[in-house]
Structure 1
Amino acid sequence: MISGGTDTMHDKLFMNTFSGTTLDWFISLLDGHITSFNQFSTLFIEQYIINQAPPPVTYDLFDVKQYQGEPLKDFLNRFGALVVKLHTKDEYMTVHAFRRGVLLGPFSDSLIRCRPKTFSEICHRAVAHIDAGEEVTEKCVSIGPV
């Protein structure tokens, strides 16, 4: 606990939120070692900062791959969510990373034949491709077996 004063209800409530390794770490601190909440905050952050995921960088787009059996729509959403999170303006890299991440098939073939210049263009083309596939599926279902 923080030395230099009496235990407050807030101190006790805060300590009750600790469990497991965090509680073990807290208990291991020497009595009187912490003299202010700011000092405690700094120690706590230093202890647990290594557990934080590093902030994403533009090159992380190259790690996003379409899984076997994953619909194009789901891959587009996952990839697009990272693009939004990154706030990237590098269209060339974004387009290149998407083309490398999408599985081989009719849509990736279309990206090779007619290379998109922006991620927005990819999105429009992907939506059109998805809609066309859904329309074909609907027609096949409505016709039924021959």
Structure 2
Amino acid sequence: MTIQEASEALLCKVFPTSLEGPATTWFSCLEPGSVHDFKQLNKKFIDYFEGSKGHQKTSSDLMDVKQQPGESLRQFIRRFNLEKLEIRDFDPTVEFMALKSGVQEE
């Protein structure tokens, strides 16, 4: 059997083994049950990473990442870290300031 003949379930299980770096992190942050077949997984992957070909984000772009109303701290930090992964020449000195300014005070 070739990979093209594989079942949807098998394709979904094999897919993460082909990922590295930010793609692995993206995959691990998918909500459980949010993907129902390989076609949907493929579309989510392309939709997420296709846009990164355009504007190259910088560390200062992290200052625009803000915790949304109703978003838990855990969800915000997950989203913040995904944004951080899109920055090629990440400056760690900006990270703490950006994270602190993005958190809503409760």
Query: Shorter-chain TM-score: which interval?
Result: 0.3 to 0.5
TM-score, reference length from structure 2: 0.45
**Larger radius of gyration, structure 1 or 2?**
1
Highest relative contact order (Cα 8 Å, sep 6+), 1 or 2? 2
